[in-house]
Structure 1
Amino acid sequence: MTEVTVVGGALVRDGRLLAAQRAHPAEIAGKWELPGGRVEPGESDADALRREFAEELDVEVTVGGRIGQDVPLSDRKVLRIFQVRLVDGRRPRALQHRALRWVSAHELADVDWLPADRVLLPDLRMLLDG
């Protein structure tokens, strides 16, 4: 029984995927993830992604289709990934992460991803190969 959904956004620019390096909590700081966060009560997945990208990266996005399947994070929590696109030409800024980087399809496996994001690498590679 899932009670919490965490959403992430796959933002692609010039054939590269945006990855964000966690700043906290300590046990996962330094690992990389797709930007996003928890869906709040009464909020849609798309609304949560738009809010999280604004808060974490200072950019406005539109939300597209799903990428891959839900990834269980625990008995009551799942990760759900969507493709997102920038609304304007602004560049994402790391407001809550240590760093941002753009990753090509051949670099995906070399990134120290969080385990849940790593599960989606085949789907992300297909997105980048396009």
Structure 2
Amino acid sequence: MAEKNPDNALAWIAVSAGALQRADGRWLMHRRPAGKHHAGLWEFPGGKVEPSEKPTECLVRELREELGIGLDTINLVPAGFAEGAGENAGSAIVILLYTARRWEGEPQALEGGAVGWFTPAEIARLDKPPLDSLLAAQLFGGVGAA
């Protein structure tokens, strides 16, 4: 998973994120809840990959916990990645983005915040964390960038 530096701190943290697309072509974005880093900003939902997990397994777990939906790893397609410096010059973050067009259940914001369905042009106008802006630009060919 993550490489360690000589000071025994993680050099980078792997995060899996999902870009869910409905049949009508709209994409799900998750609004970060109050009290969390990047509170109020819109992101592709997901979370940190645990040492015992593959990135796709992490995403299945995170979307079940955050959105209450069921996914099969076979329905996850790699779509891109973004890398950035961590908070306060901490470990770098690498977000691995996957798309999914099939899942079970209706996504809900189970941990606070909100969910919404947007076109790529609407996503471009949402306030997003920097790495999510990069991921949107990759996914939508520049249309979803801030």
TM-score class, shorter: 0.7 to 0.9
Relative contact order higher in (CA < 8 Å, ≥ 6 apart): 1
Report how many residues are paired. 126
Q: Distance in 2 between matches of 1:104 and 1:27?
A: 25
1:45 is matched by which residue type in structure 2?
P
Amino acid of the structure 2 residue aligned with 1:70: A
1:52 — aligned with what?
62
1:76 matched to 2:67: no
TM-score (norm 2): 0.77
TM-score (norm 1): 0.85
Q: Is the 8 A contact 2:17 2:59 kept in 1?
A: yes
Residues 33 and 73 (structure 1), Cα distance of their counterparts in 2 relative to 1, 3 Å cut = farther
C-alpha deviation, 1:28, in angstroms: 1.5
User: 2:133 matched to 1:118?
Assistant: yes
Richer in strand (by share)? 1
Residue 103 of structure 1: CA displacement? Answer: 0.8
Percent pairwise identity: 33
Residues 73, 60 of structure 1: alpha-carbon distance in 2 compared, 3 angstrom cutoff: farther
Q: 1:14-25 residue pairs with structure 2 within 5 A?
A: 14-25=24-35
8 Å CA contact 1:32–1:114 kept in 2: the answer is yes
Write out per-residue CA displacement over residues 78-116 of structure 1, whole angstroms, 9 at most, x where no aligned residue: 11111123333x210110131110010221211111111
Cα RMSD of the aligned pairs, angstroms, is 2.0
- Amino acid in structure 2 at the alignment position of 1:41: P
Mapped to 2, the partners of 1:8 and 1:95 lie a distance apart of 16
Please list, as runs of the form range in 1=range in 2, the aligned pairs for 1:21-100 lying within 5 A after superposition: 21-63=31-73, 64-74=76-86, 75-88=91-104, 90-100=105-115
Structure 2 residues not aligned, in runs of 5+: 4-10
CA contact (8 A) 1:59 1:86 kept: no
Paired with 1:108 and 1:43, the residues of 2 have a C-alpha distance of 30
Is there any run of 5+ residues in structure 1 with no aligned partner, and where?
none
Tell which structure's C-alpha radius of gyration is larger.
2
